Amino acid sequence: MNKFTTNQFAEDTTAAEIYEMREEHRRAESAKPINEQFGMTVEEWNASQSAWDILHDMHGLRGF
C-alpha cells in the first residue's frame, strides 16, 4: 500500500520522502513479471535478448 496518498505540495516534500517514494515505486515495478513490464512473454523476452546479443557480437567494438 502506498502511504503517500495525501495531497502534498512538492516544496513540502523532503528529499528523504522523495527517495522513499522512488524506492517504493522501483520495488513495485521490479516485482512485476517481465510480461507485465514489457508486454511480452518470457520466451519473447529471451528471444529479443538473443537477437540483440547476435547483433552486438556482429558489430563488435567498432565505433565505441
Give me the pLDDT at residue 35, please: 66
* Residue 34: predicted pLDDT: 67
- Output the pLDDT for position 29: 75
List the chain domain ranges: 1-31, 35-64
pLDDT in tens, 3-59: 555 666 767 778 888 888 889 888 887 777 766 767 787 788 888 888 888 888 887
Between the CA of residue 36 and those of 26, 27, 31, 33, 39, what are the distances in Å? 14, 14, 10, 6, 5
Query: Structure pTM?
Result: 0.37
Read off the pLDDT band of 1 (50, 70, 90).
very low
